[in-house]
C-alpha cells in the first residue's frame, strides 16, 4: 500500500515538473534557469555527493533535457511544406528523440544500481551437480586445452563436476563434407580433441548436424547430460577456480532462479584499446555494461544471459525446451524467454572468468554485427515491450538493451546533418544562435554531465561516442540488412586468436578515410562561409562547430582503424608468484612476473647468464592452487634474456607435453580471480568532464595524425607494389 | 433659402425630414438666431490663418457661392514614404454628398531626390483610379484636382486610397529609399461638392459625416446651458459617447459650453442639449414640440446651412430620452466580443479582433498580392487583440509567408517584421537562385503587442548586383524582383488571457475594465465647469470608441462612494481628493506644486539623479563591474537585473514632470476590487487641452502602464510601467489558460521559474530516491 502511495506521490510530483517544463516561457527564462540548474549540477558533482543527491542531480538533468525536447518539438522543426528541409530535419529530430528515449531508459535502468552482492559461497555438503559446457566451433586445441583445463581445475567436488567440450567443428556433417579438405580437417580435429579431452578428463561431445548453431550445440549438450546446473563458458573464457563456489549458492536461495551471470573479463585489449593504447589506464568498453548496467538490470530482476560465464538451471531451461535459437544472440533471447515465464536472474559483479576478445578491428566489427543483428531480431520477433509474463521494469530493461543497437541510425544522422547546411544550404533546424546557446548547448552540457554522473568511473567522456562512431560505419549496413531480412543473419563465430604482428591499416578502414575527408572539406567550407556570408555567421558557426565535433571523432577513429603491430602474440597478465627455475641441472629461486596463454616472464636470481642460450629448454616449478600442495613442473623453452644486476629476466614459452601441463598453464593464468578485480579497479577513475574532454582532444589529434601517417605509408607501399 | 431655421424633427426614431441649405455663418460670436449676411471669406478652412501662401486655395477665395468642400485626410499630413507606399481609409457621405461630389483636390510635395519620370502618385476612390500623375513637386506643393466620375461615390462609406511609387534619381542603395517621400497636407485635400444640399445633415446617422477640419481633427461642441448641474453630467457623458461612437474619427474632442459657438466650421458639429426653456434663448426658433415632447433632430441655423443637432424636451427627462435616441443606437452588449475594431476612418480595412488561435489571410487584412521591382518593399496590416491579452513576455505569433524572389536577389537580403514600430524579427532570404516561399513561418514576438489595434509592418530588403553597380536608369527598372502573395497568413496562437490592474494599455486599447462594467462607471468631477466637463467628455468618449460601446456613467461626489466600482477621477490636480492621488501612486506634494513652474532642480527625481550618479561613478570598483555585467546581460540576452528579482521593487510616489501638462494614472481601489483611473492636469484649461491632445489615435495608443503623462512641447505621451500589479480574471477558469498565464508571469519573473524548477527537481530527486528504495531489489 505504501508502495502505491509513494508511486502516486512520485507521479504527481513528476506531473507538476512536466507542467512547469512545458510552459512556453521565453528564452531569457530558459537561459537563467539553465545557468542555475547547471551550477547546481556542477556543485553536486564537485561535492561528490552520492545517494539521494545523485538522483537529485539526475532530476536536474532530466528537467533540462525535457525542456530541450519541448522546445525542439514545438519550435525548431522546419515547415512541412518545405520537404527538402523537413525530411532531413525530421530525421534529425527522430534521431535526437531516439537518443532522449535511450537516455530515459538508461536512467531507469541505472537509477539505483544494486551494490555488488556480498560473496555467497555454496553451502558445503549441498553442492548440486554441475555440467560445464564449453561449446566450440573452430577454436584450436591449445586454446581449448587452457579453457578445459581451467574448467576442470575449478574448486568443486570432482564427482559433482562434469566438463563437456561441445565440439561443433567436427560434427558428422562436417566430417562427411563433400569438400575433401574440410572433411579431412574435421576428422583430424575430431581425433585431436578427443585425445585432448581424454587426457584432461573431460567429456567430448559432438553431434550429427550443425543445426541451430550455438543454441543447438548447447541443447545437444543438455540432452546428453543430467546435472542440476549448467555452466557455460566460451571456448576462450577460462574460469577462475572459485567460479562455481561464488555462483551456485544463489540457486539454493531461490528455487525460481534460472541464471547467475558474471562479468566477462578480458586479458587482451580490444582493437580500440590496443590501437589507442588505453588498455592499461582506461576502463574497458564492456566495464560500463558489466560494472553498472547489469547491476542496474539486476535491481529490476532483468540481468540477462551473456552467452558465457554464467550458470543456468536445467529445470528452467527445460521449461522453455532449452536454449532459444531464433535469433543469433541466443543468450539474451533465452533469458528473455525465461524471465517471461517468471524465472529470476542474478548478477554477480565480480570477474570470475578471463577471456579473449577480438584482436583485429575487422573481427571486432564482426562480433558487434552479430550482437546488433541478434538484438534487432529479438526486437522484431519477441518485441519485449509487449511480451507477456514480464514485469514492467523488465520490459523497459529489455527495450533498453535491444533498442540500444539502433544507434548506427542516429549516429549516421548526427554525422551527416551538418553537411545538409554546409553543402546544400538546407535549414533543417530552425533556431537562432541565442536559442542554440540557451537550449542545445545546455542540453549537450547537461547530457555529458549526466553521462559522467552515471558512468563516470566506467566510461570516460566522449569514449561512448567514439565507440559508437567506429562501429556505426559498418554496423549500419548490418542493421539495415537484418531489418529488411530478419531471418537471414546466421551465427558466425568471432575469431579471437588473431594477432597483428605488423602495423597496418585495417582491411575495412577505407570508409573512415572517406568520411574524414568529407568532414574536413565541410569544415573548410564552414570557415570560408563564415567570412563570405557574415550575415549568417552565427548559424554557420554553430553548424560548423557541430561538424568540427564530428571531425574530431572521425579523426580519432582513423587511429582506431590503424592497427598497431605487437610483438607478443597474446596479452600478458601480471601474476607475481614464487617458483623455481631449473636450467640444466641447476635450480634457482625465481618469481613469475607475468604470464600469457603462450609463455611467461620469470625473474631469476643468480642465474649465470653466459650459459643461457635461446631456444634451450628449461623448467618452472611452482605450487599450483588447484593441486594438493605439491610442487609441479612445467617445461618451457627460453626465448629471450635480460639482465638487471643480480636478477635475470627470462622470457620463456610453454612446452606442454601432457594434459597436466595445460592445467598448470591454466593455473598460472586463470587461477586467481582476485587479480583481475584489482586490475579493473586500478583502471577505474573518473577524470571528470573537463579533464576527460581535454584528454580526448589530445588523443583525437594524436590518433588522427597516426591514422594519416599509416594511410600515406599504405599508399606508398601500394604504389611501390603496383610498380 | 433664407429661412431662419429649418428644423428637422424626429421623435425618438430620429427620422429625417428635409434639409434646407443656407449660407455659411462665419460671424464669430453672433448668436445663431441672428441672420447672417453671406460672409466675405467663405472657405471652410481659414486659409489666411495659415503661414503657407502657396496653397492653391489661397487663390480660390471667392466672395460668394463658395462650393461646399469636405476635407478628406484624417490626419494633419499624409506621408507616403519609401519606394512603394499607400494608405487607404474611408469617409462617410450623406446621400446628398454622394450625389454631388465632383472633384477631389489635393496638393502634394515630394523629396527632391524623387525621379519624376519613374514615380507615380495615384488616387483611388472606391477602388477606382480617379487620377494619377508623376511625382514632380520637389520645390513647392503642387495641386492636383481630379474629377470624380459620376456614380462613383456612394451614400455611406467611401474608400479613399492614395498610392505612391517612388524611385530615386541617382542612388540604388537601401539607404536611399529612406529619402523618398511625398506629403499631402490635410488642409489641401478635399472633395468639392456641387450645390448647397451637401452642406446639410438631416438624419441622426449623418453624424458620421461630421468629417475633419483642416488639421484632420474633429470637434463636437455640446451646448448645454445648465451644464453646471452635476445631475446632468451622466447624461451629457452618454451623449458624448453616442456621438463619438457614430463619428469614430481618429481624433475627436468635445467642447462643452453654455453659449452657442461659431457654427459652420469644418470638422465640427454643434449639439444643443437642454430643456426647451433653456434652449429658447440660444435658438429662438426652437420648435414648439420641444415644449411638449422629446425632440432629437438636426436644425439649421440661419447661416450657411450649418447644421446643429437639437436634443430637447420639456424637462431634463425628455432631454435624456432624446440623448438616448442617439446613444442607444450605438449600444451593443458588453458580453459579446467584437469581431473587428473600427479603424476604417483612418486605416482600412477594419481591424479584426483576435481572441485566440486564429489564422488570418493577408487578403482579409487588406494586403493584396503585389510584385515589386525596387529595393525596399514595405506593407502594413492591422490586427487587434483584447484587453486581457497577457502574452507579451513569452508569446510568439507567426506570419506564414507566401512570397517569391528572383535569382537577382542576393544573399544578405532579408525580411523584417515590425510591430507597432518596433523590430520584431528578421528572416534572411538565403537561396541564391531565387525561391518561392510557401507558408514560410516567421515567428513574431508578441512583446510589442498591446490591447486594441496593432500595426504590423512587413519590410523586404532586397540586395542585387545591379543595385551595387547602379548604372543610370537602373533604379527605375520595372523588372520585378520580389512578390508578396495575399495567401500569406498571420497566425495568432492561443495566448494567455487575464487582465492586469493597473494597465492603462488595456484601458486605452479597449476601455477595460470600464467597457464591461455591470454597474455604472463612477465619475468623479469635483467642479463641473466647462473645461473639466469637456475633458471628461473627450476622455469618456474616447474610452467608448476604444471599447466600441457606450458606458453608463454615474456622478459621485465622494471617492468613498466609488468603492467597489470602476471609477474615473477627472479634474485639475488641486481639485482631486488627496486620498485618490495617494491610491493612484501620485506624490501628493505635487498636488499643489505641479505646474507652478518652480526651480527645476528642486523637483528632481531621485531615481534619475541616482542613475546619473551611477554613470558618473562608472569606471572602477565592483559596483561598476555589476553595472557592466548588467549592460552586457541586457545587450546580449535582453535580461535586466530587475527581472531577476524575487520581490518586486517598491513603487515610489510619482512626481509628474514639470513639462507635462496631463497625467493619466491607474491603480486598484483601496479594496482592490475595482480600477480607478485618474486624469489630472495642473489646471482645468490644461486638462481640456491635454485630454484633447491624447485623444488623438496616434498618441492615445501610447497611453499605457501605470502612469502616462503628456508633454505638449515634445507632443509625446510617455508611460511609466506598473512594477506591481494584480491579475484580474476575465475568463472562465481553464487549465490551458492558467498554463499560459503562468508562462507569461514566469517569463517576466524569470528567477521564479528557475527557483521553481530547481525546487521541483530537488523534490523529484528525493521522491525518486524514496520510490527506488521501495521498488525492485534492494540489496
The residues near B7 (Cβ < 8 Å, ≥ 6 apart) are B285, B286, B287, B297, B299, B300, B310
The CA-atom distances, in angstroms, between A263 and each of A116, A641, B315, B489 are 12, 36, 105, 62
Query: A55 and B637 in contact by Cβ < 8 A?
Result: no
Instruction: Give the pLDDT score at B419.
Output: 94
Query: B637 and A28 in contact by Cβ < 8 A?
Result: yes
Q: Say if residue B349 is in the same domain as residue B286.
A: no
Of A6, A19, A24, which has the smallest distance from its Cβ to B771's Cβ?
A6
Model ipTM value: 0.90
**More confident position, A325 or A704:** A704
- Name which of A183, A161, A162 is nearest A171 in CA terms: A183
CA-derived radius of gyration, chain B: 29
Instruction: Give the pLDDT score at B55.
Output: 41
- Name which of B441, B423, B357, B361 is nearest B391 in CA terms: B357
Q: Say if residue A331 is in the same domain as residue A423.
A: no
* B64, part of any domain: no
B630 φ, ψ to 5°? Answer: -65, -45
Catalytic residue among A234, A242, A331, A349: A331
Q: Say if residue B101 is in the same domain as residue B133.
A: yes
Query: B394 and A117 in contact by Cβ < 8 A?
Result: no
Q: Say if residue B258 is in the same domain as residue B314.
A: yes
What one-character-per-residue DSSP string does B88-149 give? Answer: EEEEEE-HHHHHHEEEEEEEEEE-TTB-GGG-EEEEEETTEEEEEEE---SSS-EEEEEEPP
Confidence of residue A444 (pLDDT cuts 50, 70, 90): very high
Minimal C-alpha gap between A326 and chain B (Å): 30
Nearest CA in chain A to B754: A33
The CA-atom distances, in angstroms, between B371 and each of B176, B357, B445, B477, B481 are 20, 30, 27, 13, 7
* A457, part of any domain: yes
Instruction: Give the pLDDT score at B287.
Output: 79
**Angle at CA of residue B204, ends B200 and B207, nearest 5°:** 65
Of A13, A63, A81, which has the smallest distance from its Cβ to B767's Cβ?
A13
Q: Say if residue B253 is in the same domain as residue B113.
A: no
Instruction: Give the pLDDT score at A537.
Output: 83
Nearest CA in chain A to B397: A75
User: pLDDT tens digit string along A28-67?
Assistant: 899 999 999 999 998 988 887 778 898 999 999 999 999 9
Instruction: Give the pLDDT score at A225.
Output: 93
Strand partners, B381: B456
Chain A positions in Cβ-Cβ contact with residue B412 (cut-off 8 Å): 533, 535
Instruction: Give the pLDDT score at B7.
Output: 39
The CA-atom distances, in angstroms, between B760 and each of A14, A35, A474 are 9, 16, 44
Q: Say if residue B218 is in the same domain as residue B296.
A: yes
Q: What is the pTM of this model?
A: 0.86
Any catalytic annotation for residue A319? no
Pick the last residue of a domain from A515, A531, A563.
A563
> d(Cα A625, Cα A623) in Å, to the nearest integer?
6
Domain tally, chain A:
3
Q: Say if residue A234 is in the same domain as residue A338.
A: yes
Chain B positions in Cβ-Cβ contact with residue A538 (cut-off 8 Å): none
* A395, part of any domain: no
Instruction: Give the pLDDT score at B171.
Output: 85
> d(Cα B481, Cα A47) in Å, to the nearest integer?
62
Instruction: Give the pLDDT score at B473.
Output: 63
Of B393, B443, B739, which has the smallest distance from its Cβ to A19's Cβ?
B739
Nearest CA in chain A to B425: A432
Query: B776 and A300 in contact by Cβ < 8 A?
Result: yes
> d(Cα B359, Cα B438) in Å, to the nearest integer?
15
By residue range, what is the domain housing residue A196?
130-357
Assign 3-state DSSP to chain A and report helix, strand, coil percentages, each to 5: 55, 15, 30
Q: Say if residue B699 is in the same domain as residue B551.
A: yes
Q: Say if residue A149 is in the same domain as residue A278.
A: yes
Minimal C-alpha gap between B768 and chain A (Å): 7
Q: Which of B738, B764, B770, B774 to mutate against chain A (most A CBs within 10 Å)?
A: B764
* B609, part of any domain: no
By residue range, what is the domain housing residue B257?
6-39+200-330
Q: Say if residue A90 is in the same domain as residue A155.
A: no
- From the number of C-beta atoms within 10 Å of its C-beta (0-12, 13-18, 19+), residue B416 rates as middle
Q: Say if residue A425 is in the same domain as residue A453.
A: yes
Query: A535 and B414 in contact by Cβ < 8 A?
Result: yes
Nearest CA in chain B to A5: B771
**More confident position, A649 or B536:** B536
Of A14, A56, A79, which has the smallest distance from its Cβ to B762's Cβ?
A56
Any catalytic annotation for residue A615? no
Strand partners, A654: A636
Pick the last residue of a domain from B194, B218, B251.
B194
Of A22, A33, A58, which has the smallest distance from its Cβ to B754's Cβ?
A33
Q: Which of A29, A348, A431 to mutate against chain B (most B CBs within 10 Å)?
A: A29
Q: What is the CATH number of the domain that holds A633?
A: 2.40.10.220
Query: A60 and B441 in contact by Cβ < 8 A?
Result: no
* B212, part of any domain: yes
Q: How far is CA A566 from the centre of its chain?
A: 22
User: Is pLDDT at A455 greater than 90 in this prediction?
Assistant: no
Query: B743 and A23 in contact by Cβ < 8 A?
Result: yes
Between A92-101, A687-696, B290-299, B634-643, the lowest mean confidence (pLDDT) is in B634-643
Of B637, B767, B773, which has the smallest distance from its Cβ to A9's Cβ?
B767
Nearest CA in chain B to A434: B637
Q: Say if residue A458 is in the same domain as residue A485.
A: yes
**Angle at CA of residue A442, ends B636 and A68, nearest 5°:** 105
Chain B positions in Cβ-Cβ contact with residue A25 (cut-off 8 Å): 394, 743, 746-747, 750, 753
Minimal C-alpha gap between A12 and chain B (Å): 10
Minimal C-alpha gap between A13 and chain B (Å): 6
Nearest CA in chain B to A427: B430
Could you tell me the mean pLDDT of each successive run of 10 residues in chain B, 779 residues long? 38 37 38 37 39 41 66 92 92 91 92 90 93 90 92 92 90 90 93 87 88 91 88 91 92 91 86 89 81 85 75 91 89 82 87 89 92 91 92 91 90 91 87 81 91 92 86 70 93 92 91 88 88 94 92 88 87 89 87 67 61 63 70 75 73 86 92 91 92 91 92 90 88 92 91 93 94 85
Nearest CA in chain B to A298: B777
- Are the C-beta atoms of residues B484 and B377 closer than 8 Å to each other? yes
* A118, part of any domain: no
Minimal C-alpha gap between A18 and chain B (Å): 10
Nearest CA in chain B to A32: B754
Of A6, A533, A535, which has the smallest distance from its Cβ to B774's Cβ?
A6
Instruction: Give the pLDDT score at B659.
Output: 87
**More confident position, B11 or A566:** A566
Of B439, B639, B754, which has the smallest distance from its Cβ to A79's Cβ?
B439
> d(Cα A480, Cα B599) in Å, to the nearest integer?
85
* A379, part of any domain: no
Strand partners, B144: B106
Query: A533 and B412 in contact by Cβ < 8 A?
Result: yes
Instruction: Give the pLDDT score at A594.
Output: 85
Q: Which of B768, B770, B773 to mutate against chain A (most A CBs within 10 Å)?
A: B768
User: Is pLDDT at A571 greater than 70 in this prediction?
Assistant: no
Cis geometry, peptide bond prior to residue B513 (ω within 30 degrees of 0): yes
Confidence of residue A521 (pLDDT cuts 50, 70, 90): very high
Q: Say if residue A506 is in the same domain as residue A465.
A: yes
- From the number of C-beta atoms within 10 Å of its C-beta (0-12, 13-18, 19+), residue A432 rates as middle
* A645, part of any domain: yes
* A700, part of any domain: no
Minimal C-alpha gap between A28 and chain B (Å): 6
Q: Say if residue A168 is in the same domain as residue A58.
A: no
Q: Which of B433, B776, B778 to mutate against chain A (most A CBs within 10 Å)?
A: B776
* B451, part of any domain: yes
User: pLDDT tens digit string along A365-386?
Assistant: 999 999 999 999 999 999 999 9
The residues near B647 (Cβ < 8 Å, ≥ 6 apart) are none
User: Is pLDDT at A200 greater than 50 in this prediction?
Assistant: yes
> d(Cα B594, Cα B574) in Å, to the nearest integer?
9
> d(Cα A215, Cα A326) in Å, to the nearest integer?
9
Chain B positions in Cβ-Cβ contact with residue A257 (cut-off 8 Å): none
Q: Say if residue A555 is in the same domain as residue A583.
A: no
Instruction: Give the pLDDT score at A108.
Output: 94
Domain tally, chain B:
5
Query: B760 and A63 in contact by Cβ < 8 A?
Result: yes
Minimal C-alpha gap between B273 and chain A (Å): 54
Cell numbers 549438450 correspond to A221
- Are the C-beta atoms of residues B573 and B590 closer than 8 Å to each other? yes
Pick the last residue of a domain from A646, A674, A702.
A674
- Are the C-beta atoms of residues B639 and B750 closer than 8 Å to each other? yes
Chain A positions in Cβ-Cβ contact with residue B755 (cut-off 8 Å): 36
Q: Say if residue A74 is in the same domain as residue A101.
A: yes
What one-character-per-residue DSSP string does B596-646 give? Answer: S---TTTT--HHHHHHHHHHHH-SSHHHHHHHHHHHHHHHHH---GGGG-S
* B657, part of any domain: yes
Amino acid at each position: 500500500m505504501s508502495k502505491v502511495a509513494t508511486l502516486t506521490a512520485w507521479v504527481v510530483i513528476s506531473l507538476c515538473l512536466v507542467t512547469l517544463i512545458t510552459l512556453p516561457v521565453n528564452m531569457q527564462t530558459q537561459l537563467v534557469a539553465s545557468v542555475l540548474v547547471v551550477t547546481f549540477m556542477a556543485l553536486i558533482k564537485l561535492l561528490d555527493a552520492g545517494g539521494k543527491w545523485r538522483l537529485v542531480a539526475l532530476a536536474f538533468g532530466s528537467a533540462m533535457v525535457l525542456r530541450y525536447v519541448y522546445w525542439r518539438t514545438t519550435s525548431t522543426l522546419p515547415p512541412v511544406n518545405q520537404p527538402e528541409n523537413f525530411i532531413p530535419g525530421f530525421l534529425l529530430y527522430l534521431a535526437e528523440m531516439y537518443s532522449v528515449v535511450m537516455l530515459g531508459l538508461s536512467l531507469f535502468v541505472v537509477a539505483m544500481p544494486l551494490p555488488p552482492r556480498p560473496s555467497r559461497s555454496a553451502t558445503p555438503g549441498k553442492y548440486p551437480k554441475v555440467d560445464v559446457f564449453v561449446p566450440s566451433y573452430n577454436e584450436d586445441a591449445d586454446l581449448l586445452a587452457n579453457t578445459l583445463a581451467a574448467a576442470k581445475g575449478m574448486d568443486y567436488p570432482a564427482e559433482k563436476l562434469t566438463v563437456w567440450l561441445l565440439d561443433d567443428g567436427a560434427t558428422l556433417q562436417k566430417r562427411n563434407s563433400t569438400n575433401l579438405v574440410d572433411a579431412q580437417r574435421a576428422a583430424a580435429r575430431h581425433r585431436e580433441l578427443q585425445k585432448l579431452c581424454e587426457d584432461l578428463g573431460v567429456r567430448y561431445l559432438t553431434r550429427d548436424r550443425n543445426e541451430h548453431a550455438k543454441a543447438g550445440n548447447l541443447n545437444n549438450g543438455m540432452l546428453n547430460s543430467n546435472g542440476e546446473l549448467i555452466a557455460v563458458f566460451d571456448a576462450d573464457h577460462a574460469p577462475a577456480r572459485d567460479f562455481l563456489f561464488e555462483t551456485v549458492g544463489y540457486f539454493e536461495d531461490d528455487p525460481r532462479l534460472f541464471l547467475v551471470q558474471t562479468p566477462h573479463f578480458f586479458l587482451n585489449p580490444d582493437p580500440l584499446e590496443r590501437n589507442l593504447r588505453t588498455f592499461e589506464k582506461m576502463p574497458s568498453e564492456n566495464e560500463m555494461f558489466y560494472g553498472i548496467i547489469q547491476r542496474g538490470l539486476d535491481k529490476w530482476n532483468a540481468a540477462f544471459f551473456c552467452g558465457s560465464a554464467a550458470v543456468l538451471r536445467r529445470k528452467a531451461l527445460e521449461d522453455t525446451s532449452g536454449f532459444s535459437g531464433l535469433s543469433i544472440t541466443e543468450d539474451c533471447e533465452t533469458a528473455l524467454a525465461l524471465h517471461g515465464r517468471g524465472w529470476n536472474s542474478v548478477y554477480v559483479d565480480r570477474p570470475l572468468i578471463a577471456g579473449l576478445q577480438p584482436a583485429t578491428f575487422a573481427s571486432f566489427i564482426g562480433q558487434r554485427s552479430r550482437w546488433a543483428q541478434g538484438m534487432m531480431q529479438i526486437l522484431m520477433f519477441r518485441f519485449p515491450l509487449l511480451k507477456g509474463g514480464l514485469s514492467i521494469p523488465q520490459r523497459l530493461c529489455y527495450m533498453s538493451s535491444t533498442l540500444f543497437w539502433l544507434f548506427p541510425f542516429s549516429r549516421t544522422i548526427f554525422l551527416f546533418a551538418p553537411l545538409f547546411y554546409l553543402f546544400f544550404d538546407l535549414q533543417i533546424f530552425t533556431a537562432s544562435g541565442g536559442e542554440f546557446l540557451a537550449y542545445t548547448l545546455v542540453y549537450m552540457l547537461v547530457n555529458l554531465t549526466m553521462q559522467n554522473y552515471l558512468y563516470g568511473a566506467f566510461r570516460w567522456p566522449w569514449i561512448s561516442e567514439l565507440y559508437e562512431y567506429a562501429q556505426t560505419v559498418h554496423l549500419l549496413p548490418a542493421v539495415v540488412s537484418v531489418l529488411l531480412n530478419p531471418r537471414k543473419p546466421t551465427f558466425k563465430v568471432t575469431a579471437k586468436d588473431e594477432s597483428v604482428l605488423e602495423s597496418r591499416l585495417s582491411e575495412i578502414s577505407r570508409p573512415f578515410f572517406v568520411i574524414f575527408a568529407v568532414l574536413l572539406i565541410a569544415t573548410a567550407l564552414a570557415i570560408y562561409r563564415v567570412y563570405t556570408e557574415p550575415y549568417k555567421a552565427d548559424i554557420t558557426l554553430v553548424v560548423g562547430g557541430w561538424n568540427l565535433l564530428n571531425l574530431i571523432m572521425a579523426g580519432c577513429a582513423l587511429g582506431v582503424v590503424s592497427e598497431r603491430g605487437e610483438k607478443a602474440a597474446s596479452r600478458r597478465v601480471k601474476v607475481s608468484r614464487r617458483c623455481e627455475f631449473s636450467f640444466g641441472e641447476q635450480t634457482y629461486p625465481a618469481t613469475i612476473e607475468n604470464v600469457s596463454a603462450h609463455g611467461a616472464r620469470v625473474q631469476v636470481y643468480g642465474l649465470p647468464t653466459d650459459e643461457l642460450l635461446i631456444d634451450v629448454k628449461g623448467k618452472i616449478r611452482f605450487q599450483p592452487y588447484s593441486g594438493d600442495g605439491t610442487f609441479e613442473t612445467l617445461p618451457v623453452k627460453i626465448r629471450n634474456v635480460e639482465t638487471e644486476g643480480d636478477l635475470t629476466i627470462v622470457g620463456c614459452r610453454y612446452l606442454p607435453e601432457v594434459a597436466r601441463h595445460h592445467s598448470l598453464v591454466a593455473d598460472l593464468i586463470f587461477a586467481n580471480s582476485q587479480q583481475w578485480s584489482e586490475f579493473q579497479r586500478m583502471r577505474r577513475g573518473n577524470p571528470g568532464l573537463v579533464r576527460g574532454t581535454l584528454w580526448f582532444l589530445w588523443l583525437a589529434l594524436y590518433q588522427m595524425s597516426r591514422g594519416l601517417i599509416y594511410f600515406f605509408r599504405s599508399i606508398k607501399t601500394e604504389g611501390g607494389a603496383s610498380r | 433659402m433664407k429661412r431662419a431655421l429649418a428644423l428637422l424633427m424626429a421623435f425618438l426614431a430620429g427620422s429625417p425630414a428635409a434639409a434646407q441649405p443656407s449660407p455659411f455663418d462665419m460671424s464669430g460670436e453672433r448668436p445663431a438666431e441672428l441672420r447672417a449676411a453671406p460672409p466675405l471669406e467663405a472657405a471652410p478652412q481659414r486659409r489666411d490663418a495659415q503661414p503657407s501662401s502657396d496653397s492653391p486655395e489661397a487663390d480660390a477665395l471667392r466672395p460668394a457661392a463658395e462650393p461646399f468642400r469636405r476635407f478628406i485626410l484624417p490626419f494633419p499630413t499624409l506621408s507616403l514614404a519609401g519606394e512603394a507606399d499607400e494608405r487607404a481609409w474611408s469617409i462617410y457621405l450623406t446621400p446628398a454628398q454622394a450625389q454631388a461630389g465632383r472633384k477631389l483636390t489635393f496638393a502634394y510635395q515630394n523629396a527632391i531626390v524623387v525621379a519624376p519620370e519613374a514615380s507615380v502618385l495615384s488616387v483611388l476612390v472606391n477602388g477606382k483610379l480617379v487620377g494619377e500623375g508623376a511625382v514632380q513637386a520637389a520645390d513647392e506643393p503642387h495641386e492636383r484636382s481630379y474629377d470624380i466620375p459620376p456614380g462613383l461615390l456612394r451614400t455611406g462609406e467611401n474608400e479613399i486610397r492614395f498610392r505612391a511609387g517612388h524611385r530615386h534619381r541617382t542612388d540604388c542603395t537601401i539607404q536611399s529609399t529612406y529619402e523618398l517621400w511625398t506629403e499631402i497636407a490635410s488642409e489641401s485635400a478635399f472633395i468639392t461638392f456641387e450645390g448647397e444640399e451637401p452642406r446639410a445633415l438631416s438624419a441622426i446617422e449623418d453624424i458620421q459625416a461630421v468629417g475633419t477640419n483642416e488639421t484632420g481633427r474633429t470637434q463636437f461642441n455640446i451646448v448645454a446651458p445648465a451644464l453646471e448641474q452635476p445631475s446632468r453630467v451622466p447624461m451629457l457623458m452618454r451623449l458624448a459617447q453616442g456621438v463619438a461612437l457614430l463619428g469614430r474619427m481618429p481624433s475627436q474632442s468635445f467642447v462643452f459650453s453654455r453659449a452657442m459657438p461659431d457654427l459652420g466650421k469644418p470638422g465640427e458639429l454643434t449639439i444643443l442639449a437642454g430643456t426647451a426653456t433653456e434652449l429658447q434663448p440660444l435658438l429662438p426658433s426652437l420648435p414648439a414640440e420641444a415644449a411638449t415632447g422629446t425632440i432629437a433632430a438636426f436644425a439649421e441655423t440661419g447661416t450657411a446651412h450649418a447644421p446643429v443637432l437639437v436634443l430637447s424636451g420639456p424637462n431634463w427627462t425628455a432631454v435624456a430620452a432624446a440623448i438616448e435616441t442617439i446613444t442607444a443606437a450605438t449600444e451593443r452588449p458588453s458580453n459579446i466580443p467584437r469581431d473587428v475594431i473600427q479603424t476604417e476612418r483612418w486605416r482600412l480595412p477594419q481591424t479584426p479582433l483576435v481572441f485566440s488561435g486564429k489564422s488570418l489571410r493577408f487578403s482579409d487584412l487588406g494586403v493584396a498580392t503585389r510584385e515589386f521591382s525596387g529595393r525596399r518593399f514595405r506593407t502594413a496590416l492591422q490586427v487587434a487583440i483584447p484587453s486581457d491579452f497577457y502574452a507579451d513576455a513569452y508569446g510568439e505569433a507567426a506570419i506564414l509567408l507566401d512570397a517569391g524572389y528572383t535569382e537577382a536577389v542576393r544573399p544578405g537580403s532579408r525580411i523584417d517584421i515590425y510591430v507597432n514600430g518596433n523590430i520584431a524579427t528578421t528572416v534572411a532570404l538565403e537561396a541564391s537562385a531565387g525561391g518561392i516561399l510557401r507558408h514560410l513561418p516567421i515567428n513574431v514576438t508578441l512583446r510589442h503587442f498591446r490591447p486594441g489595434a496593432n500595426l504590423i509592418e512587413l519590410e523586404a530588403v532586397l540586395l542585387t548586383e545591379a543595385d551595387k553597380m547602379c548604372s543610370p536608369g537602373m533604379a527605375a527598372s520595372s523588372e520585378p524582383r520580389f512578390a508578396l502573395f495575399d495567401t500569406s497568413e498571420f497566425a495568432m496562437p492561443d495566448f494567455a488571457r487575464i487582465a492586469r490592474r493597473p494597465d492603462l494599455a488595456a484601458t486605452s486599447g479597449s476601455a477595460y475594465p470600464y467597457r464591461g462594467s455591470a454597474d455604472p462607471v463612477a465619475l468623479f468631477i469635483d467642479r463641473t465647469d466647462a473645461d473639466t466637463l469637456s475633458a471628461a467628455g473627450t476622455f469618456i468618449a474616447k474610452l467608448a470608441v476604444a471599447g466600441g460601446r457606450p458606458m453608463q456613467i454615474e456622478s459621485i461626489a465622494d471617492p468613498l462612494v466609488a468603492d467597489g466600482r470602476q471609477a474615473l477621477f477627472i479634474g485639475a490636480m488641486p481639485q482631486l481628493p488627496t486620498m485618490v492621488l495617494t491610491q493612484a501612486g501620485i506624490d501628493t506634494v505635487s498636488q499643489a506644486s505641479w505646474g507652478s513652474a518652480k526651480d527645476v532642480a528642486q523637483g528632481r527625481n531621485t531615481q534619475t539623479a541616482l542613475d546619473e550618479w551611477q554613470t558618473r561613478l562608472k569606471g572602477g570598483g565592483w559596483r561598476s563591474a555589476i553595472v557592466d555585467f548588467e549592460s552586457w546581460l541586457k545587450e546580449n540576452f535582453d535580461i535586466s537585473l530587475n527581472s531577476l528579482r524575487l520581490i518586486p521593487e517598491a513603487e515610489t510616489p510619482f512626481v509628474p514632470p514639470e513639462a507635462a501638462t496631463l497625467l493619466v494614472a491607474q491603480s486598484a481601489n483601496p479594496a482592490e476590487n475595482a480600477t480607478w483611473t485618474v486624469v489630472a492636469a495642473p489646471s482645468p484649461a490644461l486638462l481640456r487641452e491635454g485630454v484633447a491632445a491624447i485623444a488623438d489615435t496616434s498618441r492615445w495608443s501610447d497611453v499605457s502602464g501605470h502612469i502616462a503623462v503628456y508633454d505638449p512641447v515634445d507632443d509625446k505621451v510617455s508611460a511609466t510601467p506598473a512594477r506591481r500589479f494584480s491579475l484580474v480574471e476575465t475568463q472562465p477558469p481553464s487549465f490551458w489558460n492558467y498554463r499560459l498565464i503562468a508562462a507569461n508571469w514566469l517569463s517576466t519573473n524569470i528567477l521564479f521559474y528557475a527557483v521553481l524548477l530547481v525546487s521541483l527537481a530537488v523534490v523529484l530527486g528525493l521522491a525518486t530516491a524514496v520510490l527506488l528504495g521501495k521498488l525492485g531489489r534492494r540489496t
